[in-house]
Structure 1
Amino acid sequence: MSTENLIKMVNQIAQYFASEPDQQQAVLGVRNHLQMYWTPGMRKELLAWQTAHQGADLHPLAQAAVSGAGWEA
């Protein structure tokens, strides 16, 4: 899967969780979704891209979910 598609999908997931009033819960929601439904390869590709580009183009919740403690690529 292309990195562009992964970015689009993670931003859609983050947008869904953006309605959560507790930002910490929203970040956990994004992170849990990625852990449960994305393959390890998808997570590794997103993490590598996020590291190389400092999260440019990522929704703030997606940035926090990918770069936060507990992230397993």
Structure 2
Amino acid sequence: MSAESLIKMANQIGQYFASEPDHAVAVRGVYQHIKSFWTPGMRQQLQGWQQMHPEAVLHPLVREALAQPEGTT
């Protein structure tokens, strides 16, 4: 899958959870959605791309979710 597609999908997830008034719950929601519904390869590709392009336009909730240590719930 292209990086552009992953970014678009990740940003849509971030936008969905942006209406959550509790910021921590929103970040956990993004994290859990990506962990539950994306393949490990998709997650790794997005994380690798974000590390190589830190200036990339990712929704702030997505950036925070990607920074969560593995196993966070």
| Fold in common (TM above 0.5) | yes
Higher relative contact order by CA 8 Å / sep ≥ 6: 1 or 2? 2
Q: Work out the CA distance in 2 between the residues paired with 1:71 and 1:54.
A: 23
Runs of 4+ in structure 1 over 4 Å off: none
Using the size of structure 1 for normalisation, the TM-score is 0.91
What pairs with 1:1-73 in structure 2 (closer than 5 Å)? 1-54=1-54, 56-70=56-70
Partner amino acid, structure 2, of 1:41: G
Structure 2 unpaired stretches of 5+ = none
Using the size of structure 2 for normalisation, the TM-score is 0.91
Percent same amino acid at aligned positions? 54
Deviation, 1:68, is 2.2
Equivalenced residue count is 72
Output the aligned Cα RMSD: 1.6
Q: Work out the CA distance in 1 between the residues paired with 2:45 and 2:58.
A: 14
